[in-house]
Amino acid sequence: MLTLSGKTALVTGASRGLGKAIALALGKTGANVAVTDLLVESEKVDKERLAEYSLLAAHFVDTGNVETISTAAAIRKMGVNSLGMKMDITQPDQIQKVVSEIFDQMGGVDILVNNAGVMDNMATMEHQTLKMFERDLNVNLTGAFNCIQAVWPHMKQKKWGRIINISSFVGLRGAFAQPGYGASKAGMIGLTRSLALEGARHGITVNAVLPGFIETEAVKLHDPKMLDRIKERIPSKRMGNPDEVAPLVAFLASDRSSYMTGTAIPVTGGADLFNF
Ligand SMILES: NC(=O)c1ccc[n+]([C@@H]2O[C@H](COP(=O)([O-])OP(=O)(O)OC[C@H]3O[C@@H](n4cnc5c(N)ncnc54)[C@H](O)[C@@H]3O)[C@@H](O)[C@H]2O)c1
């Protein structure tokens, strides 16, 4: 039996999509879960500033599709502890505060899932800007680094830790018109392997999960014709759903994966394979 009972997990970017599914799966497997996101319900946001940072984030504020606090409430109903909190992974001070609160209320962070990310900077090279390229790296790669740095000393002290980085298969394959996204996701694999080397002697494992096309609310916003074209090219002829990724994260978060570290595991329905 896979159980995370007695462990506490911190999941980033869990207001919707993959992060939310992962937070729910960890709760279901018995972990206490801190559900965090840049966005939380009922927070007043400066929409213009938010749109400058991410059009996708602004869209979801408009549609009311922000479920950070309510996901924590759903996890508490499973009989474990859960907190829903705002945490911008580009802000080390904010991360420190959230981690301290998790320590006070749930006793520590044993499992970190770096899921938060931005993927809405799509433009060919002549239309790319340095600002947006750097934003992609700052959120997706440096953001993961910031979160790891905040929990690493405690995991080292406990001689036990699980870090799971949600990269992407595009970290191996590249992403057309998404140079910042592709570079940041490839960077996450390098970050995973480098820290796995360091963590191994301290009981900390660091692994990356590389989803293929997963049908989240964010992905569903693309042009339906384009989505059909993509599905046709995936060997399994369909996109995955978040619940087909979350169980792997729960496994990597558990004692069952104790001899696995530095891995980068595709969950793609075959999309990362060579295909005619
Ligand atoms: N859906 C896919 O097909 C797919 C494929 C491969 C990898 N991924 C990766 O999985 C993760 C989740 O994808 P998704 O489809 O659920 O996308 P999503 O956009 O729905 O989720 C990303 C979450 O991150 C949050 N976020 C953005 N910036 C943040 C910041 N600075 N601090 C904290 N939170 C922030 C967003 O508010 C959002 O809730 C992303 O890292 C994405 O790159 C997704």
The three-state (H, E, C) secondary structure of 108-119, written as one string: CCCEEEECCCCC
Question: Is pLDDT above 80 for 24?
Answer: yes
Question: Is pLDDT above 90 for 41?
Answer: yes
Indicate the top mutation candidate among 119, 140, 145, 217 to test ligand 1's pocket, ranked by most ligand atoms within 8 A of CB. 119
The string of pLDDT tens digits covering residues 171-230 is 999 999 999 999 999 999 999 999 999 999 999 999 999 999 999 999 999 999 999 999
* pLDDT recorded at residue 1: 87
The string of pLDDT tens digits covering residues 238-254 is 999 999 999 999 999 99
Regarding the beta carbon of 115 and ligand 1, being less than 6 Å apart is answered: yes
Domains and CATH numbers, the chain: 8-267 (3.40.50.720)
Q: What is residue 11's three-state secondary structure?
A: strand
Burial profile 119-140: b = 16 or more Cβ within 10 angstroms, e = fewer: bbbeeeeeebeeebbebbebbb
CA 106/CA 255 separation, integer angstroms: 20
User: What is the Å distance from ligand 1's center to 201 Cα?
Assistant: 31
* pLDDT recorded at residue 18: 98
**Which ligand 1 atom sits closest to the C-alpha of 57?**
37
CA 142/CA 235 separation, integer angstroms: 33
DSSP letter, residue 123? -
Specify the DSSP element, H or E, that contains 183.
helix 179-199
Mean pLDDT of 91-115: 98
The string of pLDDT tens digits covering residues 27-36 is 999 999 999 9
Q: Is 181 a catalytic residue?
A: yes
Entry pTM: 0.98
Written as six digits, the tokens of 141 are: 């790669």
Mean pLDDT of 153-172: 98
* pLDDT recorded at residue 276: 75
User: What is the Å distance from ligand 1's center to 20 Cα?
Assistant: 10
Backbone dihedral angles phi then psi of residue 62, each to the nearest 5 degrees: -60, -40
CA 117, 120, 124, 129 dihedral sign is negative
* pLDDT recorded at residue 275: 75
Contact 257, 205 (CB under 8 A): yes
When the pLDDT of each residue in the chain is averaged and rounded to a whole number, the result is 97
